[in-house]
Amino acid sequence: MNIAVLMGGISPERNVSINGGLAVAKALREKGHNVIAIDPTFGKNCMISDFEFINMSVFPDFEELKKYDTKNYIECINSEVFENIDLAFLVLHGINGEDGKIQALLELRGVPYTGSGIKASSVAIDKLTSKMLFLAAGISTPPWSVIRQKDYDNYELFEEIRSELGNKLVIKPNNQGSTVGITIVRDGILDDIHQGIIAASKYSEIVLVEQYIEGREITVGVLNGEALPVIEIITSEGFYDYNHKYSKGKTQYICPAKISEDIEEFTQSLAVSAYNIIDCKGVARADFRLSDEGQPFLLELNTIPGFTETSLVPMAAKEVDLNFADLCEELVNLAFNKNSTNEKDE
């Protein structure tokens, strides 16, 4: 089968995406597929061959990303490179990859792709919209407030939020992954809240201020509507930020998590419910905070989770005897089944 693995892209998660894409390309070649590596950043010259695994502990700054034009995505998908492609395997993270845009271009070109569709992708990456859907379905998510551009410097509003949500807050962009742009405010200092909002606003006009949930951090992968084993994430210090995610030795992963069977099953059921509410396909990962009382709070749902051999979803899949190459092959099969079902529906 001719498979294009899409990686890189124009987002702060570019380096993470490249490493994941290279790992997937290697695995699919081991399965006997004809694989080409594609970075839509480069337009019609999107086929790449000389990338090497790179340091994921840093991400591109704005000046580097500004060099690239998103119009190149259109040029890439419309190029002759996709003439004989049977499937696109998506390992593009964040904006311009996980938000429905590349999915729309591939559908217009008639190329099947792995993972969730246009609507599910755009809804899941929009934290505000997905949190409202989760709450409406009875899934607990940390209480939050929304900050828009006109209120970036509104200290009176900051005071109201602090009074409502408490002194310990999480400030995040509305549509980023890998904890890009996130600030933890621990003492409710208004200047710290302001600085966190300004930092998040660099990545999204809409900024969320959430109540910080004390407790443990856990995550649940969902594969084709079935929950994988729960993983607990334990950082050496601070919170599970970009640096802890992608720097060796800074984070410990416990799989399966050492939690009670009741909490495990409940959290897995919530992850599957969130997957179905958003109408995800293929694979997704639900991230939770587990309070000291054992209540899980759903933070977000990732429709294209990290996909190196040591990433969280592959780690959980390995616990159920599904190695990395087999997991990649399973996603290829699910994508074709999804496409066949859509054609029948039409």
Report, as residue numbers or ranges, the catalytic residues. 13, 178, 246, 285, 287, 300, 302, 306
Q: What SS3 string covers 259-328?
A: CCHHHHHHHHHHHHHHHHHHCCCCEEEEEEEECCCCCEEEEEEECCCCCCCCCHHHHHHHHCCCCHHHHH
Q: What share of the chain is helix, strand, coil (3-state, %, to 5)?
A: 40, 20, 40
Q: Record the pTM.
A: 0.91
Name all domains of the chain by residue range, CATH numbers in brackets. Answer: 2-114 (3.40.50.20), 125-139+214-303 (3.30.470.20), 144-211 (3.30.1490.20)
Q: What is the pLDDT of residue 239?
A: 53
Peptide bond into 314 cis (omega under 30): no
Residue by residue, pLDDT tens for the chain (346 residues) are 999 999 999 988 888 899 999 999 999 999 999 999 999 999 999 988 755 555 555 667 777 788 889 999 999 999 999 999 999 999 999 889 999 999 999 999 999 999 999 999 999 999 999 999 999 999 999 999 999 999 999 999 999 999 999 999 999 999 876 567 899 999 999 999 999 999 999 889 999 999 999 999 999 999 999 999 999 999 765 554 444 444 455 678 999 999 999 999 999 999 999 999 999 999 999 999 999 999 999 999 999 999 987 799 999 999 999 999 999 999 999 998 876 555 545 4
Residue 36 CA from chain centroid, whole number? 23
Query: In angstroms, rounded to a whole number, what is the distance separating the alpha carbons of residues 21 and 58?
Result: 17
